[in-house]
Amino acid sequence: LPTPHASPADSFIDKLAASQMHMVRSARKLRLRGRESHRRSDSGSIASVASADDSDDDPGESLFREFGEAAASAQRELAQAVSEEVESQLADILVCLGEEAAKIEVLS
């Protein structure tokens, strides 16, 4: 979590890291569920086949949808973080330009 006195760059890096961790967790969850689904189908038990047939929603499709939603969420968070960082840097540039313009006016 960002500290109260974190610089805009630190805040950006924290948001980027959080987005990346969210994606990694989603990918791991997708991989683990895929393995579990594969094991159930390999076991050949009637109960596992029956429970898979009773499900209206394909587990693989559900996992990919969940992963896609996580990716879209992370992408939105990253876009917001980039936008905030660019806005912060532009504000700093405008302040510097204003200071330089004031110096020039004093010197002329």
pLDDT digits (tens, 9 = 90+) for 39-52: 666 665 545 544 54
Q: What is the DSSP letter of 2?
A: -
Task: For the chain, give the mean pLDDT.
Answer: 75
**Alpha carbon of 95 to those of 7, 64, 88, 90: distances in Å?**
17, 46, 11, 9
* Residue 4 pLDDT class (50, 70, 90 cuts): low
44: left (phi over 0), alpha (psi -120 to 50) or beta: left
Q: Is 12 exposed, middle or buried (0-12, 13-18, 19+ CB in 10 A)?
A: buried
With 90 as the cut, is the pLDDT of residue 81 above it?
no
What tokens were used for 67? 């992963």
User: What is the biggest distance separating any 2 CA atoms in the chain, rounded to whole angstroms?
Assistant: 90
pLDDT for the residue 17: 77
Give the 3-state secondary structure of residue 4: coil
